[in-house]
Structure 1
């Protein structure tokens, strides 16, 4: 591909110019986090506690009102932001005098007290630290994870500002260097090993990169294969990131951080199945559960590079590499087609309708049925050279 090097990414360069024209000066999400002072965070927590004390003084059972983070009815779609929690959202009452909710009430107060001390002392803790602080009360790590997000939503404060960190599961590699909050220099250039996504994305600074694009890779197995093949160095300077399936918040924050810093095209490489499409939509449009933080978690410019349902026909992927749809696949695809954000994505709709008609799905690994190195040597280079994304 050396002789074609000057022309290889002409489509991507054109796309980058277009993206830069559309970029608004300034970043809402970066500003929002910096605007909330320690004093303001403490004041909001104190306000909740004052409400509880007032109820007790009036001989009433204290009640906490948590915004419902699981209902589509509480979400609006904004094409510039993604799924955003509505200001007129329904709430769930967590009562202190109800047997079914008294434990959750106690859990919320305990975690709020931990957060209060962390902010006061300007120190940090992981969600795992909080769980082991009182395993008997919380019962599971998932309970802590959910309640921290509930508190963040209730107080209208990003989780990072609450000084609660989450252990990252994502990996990143490619043409990227930056400084962590403590001054540690991170270099992602190594072709043999990826770097774990930071647990404190807000503290990252001094991002340096000459990457032409970012590629989100759905699965760790595909990511490792591209890493082993030194994909970024052989093809063009780029950045690869994987959330190892459904992405954690830190992986999503990292993609947004890179977008804010570099404004380069961001592509998604996912399986040609409803699950892969939904994962891509989480990066692009966000999720219902985290819609209250949409501005810092979504990148609406994400493009679908592959694996496209139309690729399966165009490339004549062998039938033995295709997987028949299950009832669950049909249900998930029907649900996706009804999502509010698809009305503005006719190309995505066509691809998904093609999948619906064919009733087959395929993993990225299915391309190996054409040739062992088809993904890295032919599929991705040609897609990126000729603009084969939607």
Structure 2
């Protein structure tokens, strides 16, 4: 994903031309208007990392391009998002359009961010080669031990993961990075995983079934339910109280919580439930003006991917 130096001019013109040429010469993604992250195997991701490194080195060694090239990254700002409806189904998808930002070693503010991208790719390359998965927190501790000068806080890792996803055009799960999950669910739902015993969520204790952070595992689940409602519960204490009272036996429903703030895995299983049971209304039991409510209100595209959400406020 390093732009080709061919045809560049000197000085500032060279940098502008490099950025302008990115959509036409990028190795990963052909659509000039819409970009999405590919779900790739470990071998494919490692191959993309190798290509990115080789392209970078080739650009450095080119006599026509003495300057260190920039890393062209798809902008992840909300202004660069677009919603695309399916032609043969009601499913809609959120895409990033072709607006670019960049990381440059020649800029003082970007220099460390530039190096962090290569450090994270190096670590992911190693993790994928070992056939492992790590959470973002585990990745932070690994990078803190390996490169403390560049990774002093979790925020550095989180932002750099987004940069790597943008550069390689693949999902963070494909990079070997697993979502940390706090979520749980309980109620009239049976989870079936191929070659595994099924899990009846209606006979579990008040803590419910812990939602795994492995999105690949969640995507393999077969879901069956006779529930009439899906209830999102913001507070874990309220979730456990409702679970202790076996609310789902009196009111046929599925209870799900992210224990305060919706993580990626909980949002993923919520999306799967809404797609599997499109006629099941979703209710959200939250505090007034809670972070949970604000999270969904600020992300209108996410709401468009699920069915209508009904708010149940607790004052």
Query: Residues 305 and 225 of structure 1: is their aligned pair in 2 closer, same or farther, counting only changes over 3 Å?
Result: farther
Q: Distance in 2 between matches of 1:187 and 1:164?
A: 28
**Equivalent residue number for residue 216 of structure 1:** 232
Q: Deviations over 1:65-114 (max 9, x none)?
A: 22222x3321223466667334322x222112332222112211111112
Contact in 1 for aligned 2:184/2:207 (Cα 8 Å):
no
Deviation at 1:255, TM superposition (A): 0.9
Question: After alignment, is 80-89 or 189-198 more displaced?
Answer: 80-89
Higher helix share: 1
Query: Residues 118 and 299 of structure 1: is their aligned pair in 2 closer, same or farther, counting only changes over 3 Å?
Result: farther
Deviation at 1:121, TM superposition (A): 3.5
Q: Any gaps of 5 or more consecutive residues in structure 2?
A: 1-35
Please state whether the residue corresponding to 2:314 is helix, strand or coil.
Answer: helix
Q: Distance in 2 between matches of 1:115 and 1:266?
A: 40
Q: Distance in 1 between matches of 2:58 and 2:215?
A: 38
Match of 2:305 among 300, 304, 310: 300
Q: Distance in 1 between matches of 2:169 and 2:143?
A: 25
Matches within 5 A, 1:1-390: 36-58=40-62, 59-69=66-76, 71-78=77-84, 84-89=94-99, 91-135=100-144, 136=148, 137-179=150-192, 183=196, 186-189=199-202, 190-204=204-218, 205-236=221-252, 238-269=253-284, 270-273=286-289, 275=291, 277-281=293-297, 285-286=301-302, 300-307=305-312, 364-366=313-315
Please state whether the residue corresponding to 2:254 is helix, strand or coil.
Answer: strand
Q: Deviations over 1:229-272 (max 9, x none)?
A: 32112211x21112234311111111122234444414131344
Query: Residues 35 and 72 of structure 1: is their aligned pair in 2 closer, same or farther, counting only changes over 3 Å?
Result: closer
Query: Residues 191 and 233 of structure 1: is their aligned pair in 2 closer, same or farther, counting only changes over 3 Å?
Result: farther
Deviation at 1:224, TM superposition (A): 3.1
Contact in 2 for aligned 1:191/1:227 (Cα 8 Å):
yes
Higher relative contact order (CA 8 A, sep 6+): 1
Q: Deviations over 1:334-379 (max 9, x none)?
A: xxxxxxxxxxxxxxxxxxxxxxxxxxxxxx332xxxxxxxxxxxxx
**Equivalent residue number for residue 350 of structure 1:** none
Please state whether the residue corresponding to 1:178 is helix, strand or coil.
Answer: strand
Contact in 2 for aligned 1:168/1:199 (Cα 8 Å):
yes
Deviation at 1:195, TM superposition (A): 2.3
Query: Residues 174 and 100 of structure 1: is their aligned pair in 2 closer, same or farther, counting only changes over 3 Å?
Result: same
Q: Distance in 2 between matches of 1:145 and 1:184?
A: 35
Contact in 1 for aligned 2:205/2:244 (Cα 8 Å):
yes
Q: Any gaps of 5 or more consecutive residues in structure 1?
A: 1-31, 287-297, 308-363, 367-390
Contact in 1 for aligned 2:93/2:305 (Cα 8 Å):
no
Q: Distance in 2 between matches of 1:198 and 1:207?
A: 15
Contact in 2 for aligned 1:174/1:239 (Cα 8 Å):
yes
